[in-house]
Every structure is written in structure tokens, then in C-alpha cells.
Amino acid sequence: MLIAIVSDTHHDKESLNKILKCTEKAEVLIHLGDNVEDAEYIKKHFKGETYYVRGNCDPYNSAPSESMLEFNGKKIFAAHGDRYGVKMGPLMLKFRAEELGAHIALYGHTHMPHIEEVEGIWIINPGSPALPRLSKKSIAFMEIEENKNIYPYIYTL
């Protein structure tokens, strides 16, 4: 199963259209906030399932601030990351994922792509397709095989 991971689109329509083109083969798209309106736009045009959480720039939106999902037997904790201090590092996010029994922790907020596996938990930030910091415009993809192997990677737009 191919999952697209997006965050911090910040109302950039050009980026949204690029995202829709490059995610055509994905079965699921997860938007990690900033901005929920962008995630709703993607949901209208994306052929697969779409899930999203709100970010710090979505304070009045009723979308959840975090979510637990499961695909091919792998539990995914999704959050924008601001409530876990991710600008200082993803350790608190990793602890929360561990508490929830998640195999994968997804976050945004920093606008910087990041992938690492820490003590059996994949920690993934897709970066930003609109306003990247110290990197190029990006999203992430994650392949979860039926045998439960996980293969995440950053995709530069």
C-alpha cells in the first residue's frame, strides 16, 4: 500500500496541484495540518482515501489535532507536531507514539523533511511543498507491504 504524506501547504495552489499529480498512484493521502482547507481541497480531487489533522495555523478548525490510523497491520500516529515541541526534535512525539502503540509517527510543523527509525518506530516529516526550510519543496511517500515492511522516502517536487 502506497501512502502519500503531506504537511504545511499553506494555501499554495501551485503546490496543491503538483501534489495531486505526483500522488496519483497512492491509495491514501495523509495531510498533517497547515492548512486544513488545503486538505479538504485535496480530498475533493484525490482518488483515494484522505485523512488530515489540524495544525497551529488551523486554530478554529474542528479537525482533530491528532489521529491514529492503521494500514496493513501498522499503526500510524499523525499529528502536526507543534504540541510535541518538534522544532527542538521529535523525541516527545516518539514517546507519544510509543504510548499509543504506534509503529509510525508522522509530523509536520518544521517545514523540514526528516525520516529516521528510533527504537522500532519510524518518525517521518514530509517537509513542506510550499514553504520549505533548509531543503527543497517536498512531500513523503511510505510503502507498507502486506508482509508489514515499511519503506518511507522523501519526494522532491
Query: What amino acid occupies position 110?
Result: T
pLDDT digits (tens, 9 = 90+) for 8-24: 999 999 999 999 999 99
pLDDT of residue 148: 82
Residues 41, 150, 31: CA angle, nearest 5 degrees: 15
pLDDT of residue 146: 86
What average pLDDT is seen over the chain?
A: 97
Indicate if the pLDDT at residue 5 is higher than 90.
yes
pLDDT of residue 151: 98
pLDDT digits (tens, 9 = 90+) for 59-75: 888 899 999 999 999 99
pLDDT of residue 61: 87
Average pLDDT over residues 125-130: 98
* % residues pLDDT > 90 (the chain): 96
Owning domain of residue 67: 2-156
Residues 108, 14, 130: CA angle, nearest 5 degrees: 25
Indicate if the pLDDT at residue 82 is higher than 90.
yes
- Looking at the 3D structure of the chain, how many domains does it have? 1
Indicate if the pLDDT at residue 147 is higher than 80.
no
Distance of CA 82 to the CA centre of its chain: 13
Average pLDDT over residues 12-37: 97
Average pLDDT over residues 109-135: 98
Query: What amino acid occupies position 156?
Result: T
Ranges of beta strands (E only) in the chain are: 2-6, 28-31, 49-52, 66-71, 74-79, 104-106, 113-118, 121-126, 138-144, 150-156
Q: The CATH number of the domain where 41 resides is what?
A: 3.60.21.10
